[in-house]
Structure 1
Amino acid sequence: MAKAITITCKNPGETFNLGVSLGKILVGGDVVTLQGELGAGKTCFTKGIAHGLGITNTNTVTSPSFTIINEYQGRLPLFHMDFYRLENEEVTSDLGLEEYLYGQGVTVIEWPERLAGIIPAGRLEVCFIFAAEDRREIVLIPHGKDWEERIAKIAENLVL
């Protein structure tokens, strides 16, 4: 099994900065899945990824709970998806999700377990755990590609 890395973030700023660090190393075709309870920091983290991808106005980055997919343009396109409201994989063909997942942009998915059958095997899984009211344990779990090496570099150079 791949080696996971756990990072403690003490506030939303640190969660954002971790996202920035990840965003800077993402390449076209990368898929990042986010798992955690409501309010765990998934959207804050995604705003950091957007900033790391060169999207300057991260205030426009919002949870796509009702739109399913939000698109942003940086050095690479960012496709932010939220599967919370989707009930089965049949809807994916109507939405064209495979085109995003296997395209040249970066895809970030909240609630990926709702449509687990379409999620690429090569991805970075990020789990958000409430460690305390003001603290999160963020676990980076590599799946395939060169994720293990890439997240090790993030951990080495991380300044929250």
Structure 2
Amino acid sequence: MSQTETIFEVPICCRGIAVVLLKKIDDLYHVLLVKRKSKILDGAWCYIGGSIENGEKASEAALREIKEETGINEVILYSANRFDQFYSPQEEYIYMAPVFVGYVDSRHHVKLNHEHSAYKWLPVEEAIETVTLPGNDEVLAFIDKHFIQRRPSSFLRISKEL
């Protein structure tokens, strides 16, 4: 490569998190999907997502976003050991976010904030067919295999002492 050639790189940006909430309904795990009502992804059905604030760990951001977006504050949280990712052609970067899995007790009810217009608890197969963004279906299939069909590894559990 000569000195006159320019190397162009697409940066990877990791400033957010994603959370898949699971709740048992009639002995079957259901996935929470929310319908976005905002400038970004308006009308899209997706799982919970949000930004990591200054000084926060990713897991702390996940718990905060769960509470802000759903009103639920009691969750058993795991790292999914997976990343949500997409390429932004407008801003020219690859966005990556660690995915978390939260188990919610059946007595907890969702209270949406202003960012969403609707929600659904769906069996995983139906959630896979409902999500809007390509790649979300793959994340949900992974969650099904490793967090619904199997008991998750204790190594992935997020301690309550954050």
TM-score (norm 1): 0.25
TM-score (norm 2): 0.25
**Larger strand proportion of the pair:** 2
Larger radius of gyration between Structure 1 and Structure 2 = 2
